[in-house]
């Protein structure tokens, strides 16, 4: 396991830097302990002086009363100013943290997201800012004022009575030290608790996303039982922690009470020796009661700090990791003037796959500018992977992919992806309106352009029949649309993009033959003057392409026009015979 201390330190340093960036807010927030000292030390001290002086007839108490009023007013004002600034500082830093987290998640590559459950990621992001809030509360509201009160109080008491000061110092140090030791001992439990909590969230997210599958297989009870196991583990870990905390609290309380008794004994003895010490004594005593109260709470404060650090740990660690795919410094923009695409000696293996699972080995494909290529082959042959490499969702293991003689790994990712209109095998939509989903292809598109693209993609008709037309919100990932409708929205989105290279991965697979024919003419129109790479299992879709490549186990095993491949009587001819029922269309 990674060293948690260093993660904690990184998080704390980072938060500190963000807080101090807001100079004015930070400085005024720094006044919080002053108010704390006013309430916790100066006011009890002055009250002690006033009451103490009653025992000495003829003492002028007026200055003390005036001081008491002044200090009270100042404390109230400082408190107000300090908290006003703190509550302005805190949400600002939280906003930066949210921003930083989402920015990183957006930049992380496919291999990162493929290995994560999105629901857990969402919880990591929200925990990041929430953890900071808890940590800053514990630090600014509890810890710093507490330390200020302790230090000042002990100093004030020691000035009048070093012996009483010593008793206080001993009590405070012992309680703090034993609490720190206790919390250290509890650390492995805390980490286990965090992991158990996250495992539970991951399971909830996974079952929610796959809710339909759960229903299909009637496995609600199975999932509930699985949740029960995870939940009871968390429950057990929490109870263990709280039980240990209760024990530690009892120990601390006994220690504190013992000290208080010792303190009263020393105080009685000292005042007996020197009645002038009564004032200090009264202050010291009220102070000790207050301090004991706080010291009793210290376990809780430390626990709050630890919980907060645990909350921010996943995101902190994620921010330490490198982003998979980054632009070279000063990388130029891709200039895709003609749209020639070439794969040169490309080898590729998914990062988490074993070395024998190489998808491509020294693959060479050249697509001339404006050429329309059909890509077919058995499932798992690497067709989709090929498109992912072209879009640089993954980097090639070796070799090079070039567009118009420019290595795609050396140009900016934004310019590369801007040059390619891509319809993926499983087009996913945003939980937003249809209009927004289509306009995603070009955020500056006018309503007319959106409408035009929808018409070309044969989507206009079904859209206008929806209850809210173009304003209909399509559900998470587009679940409220049929597969074919989703595909047509994705095609409309690609049409709107107007990129020189078009990549369609089974873009019309969910459409009936009649609808496909309708779209086909729009797609043919769209492909005009463009380089196109069209993947399809339904061979009629790609029959008219300039060239068809048959990809099997990462290798191009056949390459030619529909007619040439039929004449070759290889895999393509076999697939064609299957699909056309033996009838070979002209
Ligand atoms: N993210 C991934 N991580 C690891 N392996 C992967 C990943 N995606 C795909 N693969 C593997 O790479 C190989 C090629 O998959 P790919 O999706 O490119 O096939 P395909 O030709 O598009 O198949 P289909 O016709 O079914 O869409 C498969 O063996 C698959 O299991
Ligand atoms: Mg595929």
Same-domain check for residues 490 and 509? no
Domain carrying residue 575: 331-419+502-514+531-586
How buried is 477 (Cβ within 10 angstroms: 0-12 exposed, 13-18 middle, 19+ buried)? middle
Expressed in angstroms and rounded, the spacing between residue 386 Cα and the centre of ligand 1 is: 9
Same-domain check for residues 261 and 175? yes
Contacts 24+ apart (CB under 8 A), 40-44: 40/145, 40/149, 40/153, 40/287, 40/290, 41/149, 41/152, 41/153, 41/156, 41/287, 42/71, 42/75, 43/68, 43/71, 43/72, 43/75, 44/283, 44/286, 44/287, 44/290
Decide: 353 in ligand 1 pocket, CB within 6 A: yes
Q: Whose CA is nearest to atom 5 of ligand 1?
A: 350
Region 185-207 average pLDDT: 89
Same-domain check for residues 315 and 339? no
Q: Whose CA is nearest to atom 8 of ligand 1?
A: 385
State pLDDT tens for residues 404-444: 999 999 999 999 999 999 998 888 899 999 999 999 988 89
CA–CA dist 328, 235 (Å, integer): 48
Expressed in angstroms and rounded, the spacing between residue 385 Cα and the centre of ligand 1 is: 6
Indicate the pairing of strand 501-505 with strand 547-552: unpaired
Confidence (pLDDT) at 586: 44
Atom from ligand 1 closest to the CA of residue 357: 29
Q: Mutate which of 383, 393, 535 to test ligand 1's pocket (most atoms within 8 Å of Cβ)?
A: 383
Q: Find how far residue 551's CA is from the centre of its chain.
A: 38
Residues around the ion ligand 2 (C-beta < 5 A) = 383-384, 425
Same-domain check for residues 494 and 506? no
- 42: which 2 tokens? 């100066």
Cβ contacts of residue 503 below 8 Å, gap of 6+? 387, 390, 391, 420, 421, 422, 423, 532, 533, 534
Same-domain check for residues 437 and 300? no
Decide: 359 in ligand 1 pocket, CB within 6 A: yes
* Residue 302 domain flag: yes
Decide: 48 in ligand 1 pocket, CB within 6 A: no
Q: Whose CA is nearest to atom 7 of ligand 1?
A: 350
Same-domain check for residues 215 and 295? yes
Confidence (pLDDT) at 4: 53
Residue 311: C-alpha distances to residues 99, 125, 142, 307, 486 (Å): 17, 10, 19, 6, 38
Confidence (pLDDT) at 493: 93
Q: How many residues in total does the chain contain? A: 586
| Number of domains forming the structure of the chain | 3
Ligand that lies nearest to the alpha carbon of residue 505, given by its number in the listed order = 2
Last residue of a domain, one of 320, 339, 374: 320
Q: What's 218's domain CATH number?
A: 1.20.1560.10
Decide: 384 in ligand 1 pocket, CB within 6 A: yes
Region 493-518 average pLDDT: 87
Region 145-169 average pLDDT: 86
CA–CA dist 25, 22 (Å, integer): 6
* Residue 424 domain flag: no
DSSP secondary structure string for all residues of 423-461: E-SS--B-SSBHHHHHHTT-TT--HHHHHHHHHHTT-HH
In 3-state terms the chain splits into helix, strand, coil percentages (rounded to 5) of 65, 10, 25
* Residue 519 domain flag: no
Region 387-398 average pLDDT: 94
* Residue 382 domain flag: yes
What's the sign of the alpha-carbon dihedral 246, 247, 248, 253?
Answer: positive
Under the banding of pLDDT at 50, 70 and 90, the label for residue 583 is low
Expressed in angstroms and rounded, the spacing between residue 325 Cα and the centre of ligand 1 is: 20
Q: Whose CA is nearest to atom 11 of ligand 1?
A: 380
Same-domain check for residues 438 and 383? no
Atom from ligand 1 closest to the CA of residue 111: 1
Q: What percent of the chain has pLDDT over 90?
A: 54
Region 549-569 average pLDDT: 92
How buried is 397 (Cβ within 10 angstroms: 0-12 exposed, 13-18 middle, 19+ buried)? middle
Ligand that lies nearest to the alpha carbon of residue 386, given by its number in the listed order = 1
* Residue 209 domain flag: yes
Under the banding of pLDDT at 50, 70 and 90, the label for residue 356 is confident
Expressed in angstroms and rounded, the spacing between residue 378 Cα and the centre of ligand 1 is: 11
Q: What's 544's domain CATH number?
A: 3.40.50.300
Indicate the pairing of strand 547-552 with strand 372-376: parallel
Does 510 score more than 90 pLDDT?
no
Expressed in angstroms and rounded, the spacing between residue 365 Cα and the centre of ligand 2 is: 18
Confidence (pLDDT) at 97: 97
Under the banding of pLDDT at 50, 70 and 90, the label for residue 78 is very high
* Residue 181 domain flag: yes
Residue 144: C-alpha distances to residues 70, 132, 295 (Å): 23, 16, 13
Q: What angle separates helix 187-209 from helix 118-136, to the nearest 10 degrees? A: 140
Does 164 score more than 50 pLDDT?
yes
CA–CA dist 152, 345 (Å, integer): 73
CA–CA dist 44, 75 (Å, integer): 13
At 88, is the secondary structure helix, strand, or coil?
A: helix
Region 528-554 average pLDDT: 91
State pLDDT tens for residues 280-299: 777 778 778 878 888 888 88
Indicate the pairing of strand 341-348 with strand 398-403: antiparallel
CA–CA dist 231, 203 (Å, integer): 10
State pLDDT tens for residues 236-249: 999 988 888 888 88
Atom from ligand 1 closest to the CA of residue 506: 27
Does 531 score more than 70 pLDDT?
yes
Ligand that lies nearest to the alpha carbon of residue 357, given by its number in the listed order = 1
Same-domain check for residues 263 and 135? yes
Same-domain check for residues 192 and 272? yes
* Residue 521 domain flag: no
Decide: 358 in ligand 1 pocket, CB within 6 A: no
Decide: 381 in ligand 1 pocket, CB within 6 A: yes
Whole-number mean pLDDT of the chain? Answer: 89
- State the DSSP H helix or E strand holding residue 360, giving kind and residue range, or none if neither: strand 360-367
Last residue of a domain, one of 270, 301, 320: 320
Q: Whose CA is nearest to atom 19 of ligand 1?
A: 380
Confidence (pLDDT) at 581: 66
Check residues 185 and 345 and name the one with the higher pLDDT.
345
Under the banding of pLDDT at 50, 70 and 90, the label for residue 277 is confident
CA–CA dist 101, 107 (Å, integer): 10
- 477: which 2 tokens? 């990932």
* Residue 526 domain flag: no
Phi and psi at 257, nearest 5°, equal -65, -40
Contacts 24+ apart (CB under 8 A), 463-468: 463/434, 466/434, 468/433
CA–CA dist 505, 499 (Å, integer): 16
Q: Which of 318-327, 434-443, 523-532 bottoms out in mean pLDDT, i.e. has the lowest?
A: 523-532
Same-domain check for residues 298 and 198? yes
Same-domain check for residues 439 and 347? no
Decide: 462 in ligand 1 pocket, CB within 6 A: no
Atom from ligand 1 closest to the CA of residue 551: 21
Expressed in angstroms and rounded, the spacing between residue 383 Cα and the centre of ligand 2 is: 5
Q: What percent of the chain has pLDDT over 70?
A: 98
Expressed in angstroms and rounded, the spacing between residue 553 Cα and the centre of ligand 1 is: 10
Last residue of a domain, one of 288, 320, 352: 320
Cβ contacts of residue 76 below 8 Å, gap of 6+? none
Confidence (pLDDT) at 53: 81
Residue 24: C-alpha distances to residues 31, 84, 89, 220, 456 (Å): 11, 12, 9, 54, 57
Same-domain check for residues 71 and 207? yes
At 350, is the secondary structure helix, strand, or coil?
A: coil
In this structure, how many other beta carbons lie within 10 angstroms of the beta carbon of residue 329?
5
């Amino acid at each position: 396991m990674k060293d948690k201390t260093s993660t904690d330190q990184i998080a704390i340093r980072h938060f500190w830097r963000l807080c101090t960036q807001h100079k004015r807010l930070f400085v005024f927030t720094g006044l919080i302990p002053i108010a704390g000292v006013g309430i916790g030390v100066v006011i009890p001290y002055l009250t002690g002086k006033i009451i103490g002086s009653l025992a000495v007839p003829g003492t002028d108490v007026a200055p003390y009363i005036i001081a008491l009023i002044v200090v009270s007013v100042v404390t109230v004002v400082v408190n107000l100013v300090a908290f006003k600034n703190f509550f302005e500082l805190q949400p600002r830093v939280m906003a930066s943290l949210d921003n930083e987290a989402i920015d990183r998640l957006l930049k992380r590559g496919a291999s990162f997201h493929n290995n994560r459950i999105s629901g857990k990621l969402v919880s990591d992001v929200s925990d990041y800012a929430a953890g900071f809030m808890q940590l800053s509360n514990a630090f600014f509201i509890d810890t710093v004022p507490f330390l200020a009160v302790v230090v000042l109080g002990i100093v004030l008491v020691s000035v009048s009575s070093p012996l009483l000061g010593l008793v206080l110092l001993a009590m405070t140090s012992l309680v703090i030290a034993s609490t720190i030791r206790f919390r250290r001992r509890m650390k492995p439990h805390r980490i286990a608790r965090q992991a158990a909590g996250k495992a539970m969230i991951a399971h909830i997210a996974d079952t929610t996303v796959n809710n339909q599958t759960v229903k299909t297989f009637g496995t609600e009870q199975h999932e509930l039982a699985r949740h029960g196991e995870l939940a009871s583990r968390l429950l057990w870990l929490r109870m263990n922690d709280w039980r240990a905390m209760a024990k530690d609290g009892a120990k601390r309380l006994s220690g504190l009470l013992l000290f208080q008794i010792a303190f009263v004994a020393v105080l009685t003895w000292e005042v007996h020796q020197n009645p002038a010490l009564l004032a200090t004594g009264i202050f010291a005593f009220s102070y000790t009661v207050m301090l004991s109260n706080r010291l009793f709470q210290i376990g809780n404060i430390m626990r709050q700090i630890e919980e907060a650090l645990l909350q921010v740990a996943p995101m902190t660690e994620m921010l330490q990791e490198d982003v998979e795919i980054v632009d070279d410094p000063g990388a130029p923009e891709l200039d895709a003037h003609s749209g020639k695409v070439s794969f040169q000696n490309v080898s590729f293996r998914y990062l988490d796959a074993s070395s024998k699972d190489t998808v491509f080995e020294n693959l060479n494909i050249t697509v001339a500018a404006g050429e329309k290529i059909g890509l077919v082959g058995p499932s798992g042959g690497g067709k989709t992977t090929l498109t992912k490499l072209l879009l640089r969702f993954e980097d090639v293991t070796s070799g090079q992919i070039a567009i118009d003689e420019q290595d795609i790994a050396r140009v900016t990712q934004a310019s590369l992806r801007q040059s390619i209109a891509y319809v993926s095998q499983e087009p996913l939509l945003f939980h937003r309106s249809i209009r927004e989903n289509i306009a995603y292809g070009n955020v500056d598109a006018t309503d007319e352009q959106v409408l035009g693209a929808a018409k070309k993609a044969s989507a206009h008709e079904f859209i206008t029949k929806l209850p809210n037309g173009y304003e209909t919100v399509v559900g998470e990932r587009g679940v409220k649309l049929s597969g074919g409708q989703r595909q047509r929205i994705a095609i409309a989105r690609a049409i709107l993009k107007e990129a020189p290279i078009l990549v369609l991965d089974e873009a019309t697979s969910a459409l009936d033959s009649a609808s496909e024919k309708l779209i086909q003419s729009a797609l043919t129109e769209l492909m005009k003057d463009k380089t196109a790479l069209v993947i399809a299992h339904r061979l009629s879709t790609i029959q008219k392409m300039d060239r068809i490549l048959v990809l099997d186990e990462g290798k191009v095993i056949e390459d030619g026009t529909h007619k040439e491949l039929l004449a070759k009587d290889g895999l393509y001819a076999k697939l064609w015979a299957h699909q056309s029922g033996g009838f070979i269309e002209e």
